[in-house]
Structures are given as C-alpha cells and as structure tokens.
Chain A
Amino acid sequence: MLNQLRPYRESASQTAGPYVHIGCTPNQAEITGVWAEDLGARMLQPQTKGERIVVEGIVYDGSGAPLKDAVIEIWQADAAGLYAGPGESRGAADPAFPGFGRQATDGDTGLFRFETIKPGRVPYDDGRLQAPHISVWIVARGINIGLSTRLYFADEAEANAADPVLLRVLDPRRRGTLIAAPAPGAEPGVYRFDIRLQGPDETVFFDI
C-alpha cells in the first residue's frame, strides 16, 4: 500500500466558537446534571506519582486583551516519562495519572490553571531525550483551527538546551515563548505560561 492511495480527506476544522464550554466544560458553564465532572478537570489523585506543579497563564490576543472564552487542553507524560494512552509501548504509565487535562480560561480574568505533575523525559525518534514538556492545544472563538504548542520548564536549562524540538526554533527569543518560568511571587511549583497569539512575542505554534 503506497501513500498516494490515501482515499479520504481529513474533515475540515471549524472554530470551537464562543460557546465551546457547553460541550467541553459544561459543569463549569453551569450546565449541571448531564455528567458529574468535566472531562480533564482533575488530573491528580492522592496516589499519583510525581512532583506536584501548577501551570497557569493567560492567552492574549493581538491587542493585548486576555481571551476569556478559550479552552486549553494539555497532554503529557507521567513522572517516569510514559504516556497513558494508546501508542505507548515502552511500559505501563502510572494508572493514577491520565496525562490529559482541559480547562476553560476564566470568564472574567482569562486565567487558566492546571494542577498536574512535572512530566518525565520522553525520547525523540532518534533516541535523544526530549526535555520535560507538555503538549498544549488552544481553541476559541476566532481560532479557525486549534493551535498546537509546547510548554517547557525554565528550571530545565540543560535539558532544554539539547531538546530537539526547541533546537528547531532558531530564534532564541521565540524559543523563550515556549518556556514556563516560576510565577513571580507564587509558591514553589507554580509555573507561568502566557500565550500570545500575535505581536513581537508571538508564541511559537507547531504544525504537528
């Protein structure tokens, strides 16, 4: 079977729209009683292995205004660097960690917040270890196709310097848009990851 025979075309994306919360975070949108808990709302259990962290931030539009109607999803490895889903063949991931999180940005402030663990390192296809990172996907009104980016950690400077994906970002200033730093004035373990859709500090988005 050769690749040219690909018989179907991917369905086209359409914006998630301003009411994405009805489908993706209904309880947060005050649609209660359909299901008990929003998908991806809770990533941690008491027995989850790994260093507890918080990732928070704001998505800014081209005028510098926060997106108050976005939904952010994250996907990450467990503390040992294993993924919970299908496609992971290196071992069994922590059964107490789903690897997937979903949060709406706050309707008043635009802040999003994930309580998770710091992921372990995952190999690239050539065997090099990637630096610890979290895959991030952003949808909202005005975003026609979900935006993919990655979050890395400022306190992993050595691993970041050798990360095969970060090395693909040739401009060091743009590389910095992918790196979450400890949030100023916050408790240890709280990382700030702001996402800018436009402007001189526009976040690097990937075609994955």
Chain B
Amino acid sequence: MRNSIGDQRPFYPRDRALHPPAFTPNYKSTVLRAPQQALLSLESSLSERTGPAFGHGLIGALDNDLIRNYGHGGEAIGQRIVVYGRVLDEDGRPQAGTLVEFWQANAGGRYRHKKEGYQAALDPNFGGCGRTLTDQDGVYSFRTVKPGAYPWPNGVNDWRPAHIHFSLFGHAFAQRLITQMYFEGDPMIRQCPIVRTIADDAAIEQLTARLDRQNTLPMDALAYRFDIVLRGRRSTVFENKLEGN
C-alpha cells in the first residue's frame, strides 16, 4: 500500500450527496451565505493536490490536553474524557502526520468568545482549543471535558447538542475539512437544525463518537472514539499496471 504522503494522484470526486448543501433554510444563517450558482467542477491540478505540512515542532506538550492547556496550574471543570480515533482516506489508508485541530464550549455549554452571550459561566481554566498530529497509523488523541449543550438564536428555542468542532488538513488542500463530532446516545443530535443540514442518515452516524470503555483512563477519563475519513485518491487500471500496486 502506497504511503499517501507525497502521493500525486487526483482525488475521487467529492460525494456532494453526503455533505450538507449550501442552502439549508432551517439553519437560517445559510440563507444569505449560500452561493446560488452551481459550483464549477475543476479537474484538480497540483494546486489542489498539494497542501501544507506541519511538523512536530509546531505542537506543544499540552496542545492536546484541554483540561490543562489554558489554566495556570488549575484544571478545567467537567466530565473528563479522552477523544481519539483514526484519520483515514476513502480507501482506508491512514493519514499519517496530519494536523487535527479542535475547539469546543466548556462543560456548561459556554464558549470563550467575545461574541458569545449565553449566561452559563466561563471556566477560568478552560480555553477550549487544542491540536495534535496523527501518528504513523493515522491515530490522534486528546483529553478534554465533555462540552455542554447550549441554546442558540435560530428558532425560538433551538439547542445545539454537545459537540466538538474538528479541522483536518490531510495532505492536500483538496482534502481540507471542517466538521463536528457528536456524542453517542444524545437525543438532541437529531433535533438540531445544523445536524439536519445533512440529509444522509449514515453520514450523521459517522459524525457520532462511540463511548469506548476499553480505552478509558481508569480513575481519570472516559473515552470516545471518533474516526474521520478524508477524500481518497483515484487510481486507474493503467496506472496500476505501470506501478504494480
């Protein structure tokens, strides 16, 4: 199996049916922000098949520990959890050495952001951001507190289910993805207008992390497993013959 770093083959076309369309009026912010013209399909060039690489020098020792990376000696309050998983491509190839960024509300459902107005209290020891690089098997992990649900101004009484935002780079700008992770068993997932921008049930399931008792940190934190799939690269029979894969 070919290492995906340095691979130059074009990508599978993005399956737009599993992604949310741009215009989803039940999520009201999309109404003025959704492009109305059709996307122009582009046969990718080097400009899309390359992407930034980030080294281990970028990552600080506490970057993947949201319980401790903001407090000055203190720890964040909340249900302690480890979130981990693999970053793969559509062919199941591990995406090694790729940057994963994450951000979230605190345990009370409050974001540390000046435009945030929810009355739940800030936690002086919780900033809400982290990042890490995947290892050679595509595995990432971080420790945090489970974020709270929170109300938001969309419908009169809409609430976001507990979620963590994820940003992934892969190895090419064409793989760039931002998404959100939800928690298994949360009845609010299917009630959320943002989740419901996705029409495909299986795609929503794929954004739902599983409680994983085998990987809990005993006497410390529960574990949730969340695998992420980025776009994979197309090969052709002709190319296979040439390169013998």
Contacts of A133 in B (CB 8 A): 47
User: Which of B47, B127, B232 touches A75 (beta carbons < 8 Å)?
Assistant: B47
Interface flag for B75 (CB, 8 Å): no
Alpha-carbon separation in the docked complex, A15 to B60 (Å): 27
Q: Known contacts A144-B19, A146-B176, A202-B37; is A3 also within 8 Å of B48 by CB?
A: no
Enumerate chain A interface residues (CB-CB to B < 8 A): 1-3, 5-24, 26, 29-31, 33-35, 39-40, 61-63, 65, 67, 69, 73, 75, 77, 83-89, 98-100, 107, 122-125, 130, 133, 135, 137, 139-147, 150, 164-165, 168-169, 174, 197-198, 202-208
The number of chain B residues with a CB under 8 A from chain A is 100
Assuming the contacts A12-B204, A20-B165, A31-B129, asked whether A135 and B30 have C-beta atoms less than 8 A apart, the reply is: no
Residue B120 at the chain A interface, CB threshold 8 Å: no
Nearest CB of B to A153, in Å? 15
Docked-complex contact A29 and B42, CB < 8 angstroms: no
Tell me which residues from 156 to 183 in chain B have a Cβ below 8 Å from any Cβ of chain A.
165, 167, 171-174, 176-180
- Whether B173 and A137, one on each chain, are in contact in the complex, defined by CB atoms closer than 8 angstroms, is yes
Chain B's closest residue to A73 (CB) is: B176
- State in angstroms the CA–CA spacing of A42 and B228 once bound together: 29
Contacts of A20 in B (CB 8 A): 103, 165, 178
Smallest CB separation, A119 vs chain B (Å)? 9
Interface SS majority for chain A: loop
> With a CB–CB cut-off of 8 A, which chain B residues contact A122?
45-47
Interface residues of B in 75-117 (CB under 8 A from A): 88-92, 99, 101-104, 111-116
- Bound-complex Cα distance A142 to B204 (A): 18
Bound: A98/B207 CA distance, A:
31
* With A11-B230, A204-B40 as contacts: A35 and B63 at CB distance below 8 Å: yes
Question: In the bound complex, what is the Cα–Cα distance between A85 and B49 (angstroms)?
Answer: 10
User: Beyond A3-B235, A20-B165, A21-B113, is A207–B41 a contact (Cβ under 8 Å)?
Assistant: yes
Residues of A within 8 Å of B172, CB to CB, are: 85-87
- Neighbour of A140 across the interface among B33, B40, B171, B206, CB < 8 A: B33
B198 vs chain A, min Cβ distance (A): 5
Minimal beta-carbon separation of A21 from chain B (angstroms) = 7
Inter-chain contacts of B242 with A (CB < 8 A): none
By CB atoms of chain A within 10 A, which of B21, B50, B90, B114 has the most?
Answer: B50
Contact of A144 among B21, B129, B165, B235 (CB under 8 A): B21
Contact present for B63 and A34 (CB under 8 Å):
yes
Chain B nearest CB from A18 CB (Å) reads 6
Which of A7, A98, A145 has the largest number of chain B CB atoms within 10 A?
A: A145
Interface: B121 (CB within 8 A): no
The closest CB in chain A to the CB of B116 belongs to: A19
**A61/B33 contact (C-beta < 8 A), A7-B90, A207-B16 known:** yes
Alpha-carbon separation in the docked complex, A17 to B178 (Å):
10
Looking at chain B's contact residues, the main secondary structure is: loop
Across the interface, B53 reaches (CB within 8 A) one of A10, A61, A85, namely A85
Instruction: Determine if A34 and B90 form an interchain contact, defined as CB atoms under 8 angstroms apart.
Output: no
Are B15's CB and A208's CB within 8 A? no
Q: When chains A and B are docked, how far (Å) is the Cα of A1 from the Cα of B70? A: 47
Supposing A8-B89, A165-B42, A207-B39 touch, asked if A144 and B197 sit within 8 A by C-beta, the answer is yes
Nearest-neighbour CB distance to chain B for A93, whole angstroms, equals 9
Q: CB distance A124 to B45 under 8 Å?
A: yes
* Cβ A16 vs Cβ B178 within 8 A: yes
Q: List 29 A-B contacts (CB under 8 A).
A: A3-B235, A8-B229, A10-B177, A11-B203, A12-B179, A12-B206, A14-B180, A15-B27, A16-B178, A19-B103, A19-B116, A22-B129, A31-B128, A33-B127, A35-B60, A39-B99, A62-B31, A75-B50, A87-B49, A143-B33, A144-B20, A150-B47, A164-B45, A198-B36, A202-B35, A205-B39, A205-B40, A208-B44, A208-B174
Question: B219 near A: Cβ within 8 Å?
Answer: no
Contacts of B207 in A (CB 8 A): 11-12, 14
Task: Give CA–CA (A198, B47) in the complex, Å.
Answer: 25
Chain A residues with CB under 8 A of B129: 22-23, 26, 31, 34
Q: Which residues of B contact A13 (CB under 8 A)?
A: 19-20, 177-179
